[in-house]
Chains A and B, each alone.
Chain A
Amino acid sequence: MHRRTFLSLGAALAAITAAGFPEEVLAKKGGTLVVGLQSEELPLKPESARSRFYTRADVCDTLVQLDRDMILQPGLATSWERISKETWRFKLREGVTFHDGTAFDAASVKNALEKITALMPYAAGLLQLKEVRVIDPLTVEVETLAPFASLPNQLTDAVTVIHGAASFDANGKFVKPIGTAAWKFVEYIPQDRTILERFDGYWGETKAAFERVEFVLIPDDQTRVIALETGEIDILIDVPRGDITRIEATEGLQVISAPISGVNYGAFNCAEGRPLSDRRLRLALNYLIDRELVVKAALDGFGRPAWQFFAPGYRWLPQNVTPYRHDPEEAAKLFTEAGYTKVDGKWGKDGEPLVLNVQAYHNGTGNGFIAEAMVALFKREGIDATLNAGTYDGMVEFAKRGDYDIAVQYWTAEMTADPDLHLTSQFKSDAGMNWQSWKNERFDALVDKGRTLDRGTEWDAVYTEVQQILQDDAPIIPLSHAIFVNAFRSELKGLVIHPARLYNLKAVTA
């Protein structure tokens, strides 16, 4: 017997006798933490979607970070100040190295931000960069196209992570993530798994306990649960709602859940000629649907009934907005005002029954079930509706063609602890993702103004009014604010839920 094998066997034995069964399981995996996911992490495609892999999985760092109370904290930048209306100055962290051994400095920030904004229209819209200037090796100035107060918040978004120079090829194409954070990217096997390795040169205080992390794609909900129960995976992300109470009661397994940034809502097609071009009808639907029932039916209660776009209770957002309420009488009144009558229990106008075309898609947040519950409640209240739920791309296709009345979707609305991102990318009349044909000039003007203002009374006033316009003009029907539910093997310690859905696996120990 080789000496090494003997030693490792001895170590394994010692581990078993010291802590019993759990250690044995982990020892077998060689200190690998296996995480089961419903949808794939795409480490090689920052441009494919708003890939949050880099920060979720702690491969790359952003300049600014958000703590669990959604307060800005130093990341790769240790401090920042607004030196003019358009310019922010960032002081950078010393002694940080990339996974490939190169040093992190002001030039890396300039390179990464320029490359990523050139690569992705989304990043360009997010940051509004005009110029990134290297002042000295540890100071950069970022100038934006227009006054932009929420830049530090935007720089917490996963697409703004600072990739090493070798992450891009000579043509500026993204090759692979080379970050500065706790885990090194090792391999991505399409439709199967993403493998990470601990980075021993990580600058942060929390050093990862495990040697490796594998993110395994298991799209089917029941298969993912069984994988946890049989020990194939250690952590289950997005527990299927129907299994939560059962897993909680299972010995050796634990469930962790908390509210996070995210809202499932139905976007109304406000285009001319569609029934929901009438504001009264949009409001009526908002009063008609009991969100408590939606959350109960679709998510077994593991969601927060949504009566407004941004979830209530965030300290960084003005709270004096009038939420919707369940009020069928008010809804009936609005229907009548809009010229609708109820014949044989069905709402209709001029002898034509109202039929709503609902498009949705399935994801880990139960988006498809939420749409189904909403449609079921419509039917109960006398509104006929058809539902098509496939993929996100499928829904976008219908939405872009305008061939829908309600598109049920999920967005992480509060992700950067700033309202600007989603208001400008989803609701502004010229926004790329505004397929709703909703246009409100006052809203557009306020949103444009809001992003130039520093936080304070004026900022509060602007965003109070903005939120109230969303309530009053009703381009959407908010349905559920997200609750993130994960399960794990009880021997793991240190799992927390971050409102921006960061897994923070570096803090997990066995």
Chain B
Amino acid sequence: MSELTLTVMRLGFLAVLWLFVIVAVQVIRSDLFGTRVTQRGSRRGGQDRQPQRGAAAQTAATPPQQRQQSGGRRAKGGGRGAPSKLVVSEGTLAGTTVALQGQTISLGRAHDSTIVLDDDYASSRHARIYPDRDGKWIVEDLGSTNGTYLDRTRLTTPTPIPLGAPIRIGKTVIELRK
């Protein structure tokens, strides 16, 4: 085999190997660069690409503080004020989010809960959060020992959740966000 062919194959192999790594990184790009901060009303046209990519790199350096979604996406989640995700803001699970897609979310120490609380003050089936027929999200305490608090008040009946209002279970605080 000629020297030239072998050299081409050698460099070609390295190129293919690196291509694989780069493709793999592209697949998880959204994870690696964190949250994209897009300006309100900006459109995802070609001319917008550059500044957005800069913004993405910036967020990679500093932890993302706030996310604003582009208008096109929000329409999917229902009305303008409809929450799209549930965020755990305090407690051992802080940072976890669950996308709200019309499903019932159960909270508690039981292993099959949607959010498994690891909290001495939580009951095994503590509370649940579900949408009513109008798409409003309701929190209901399931007879827990230590109670579920919306803002400062202990829940006694199923109650609609205002956007961003803290729901407190033991040391865990969750809230709905857009």
Indicate whether A and B interact: no
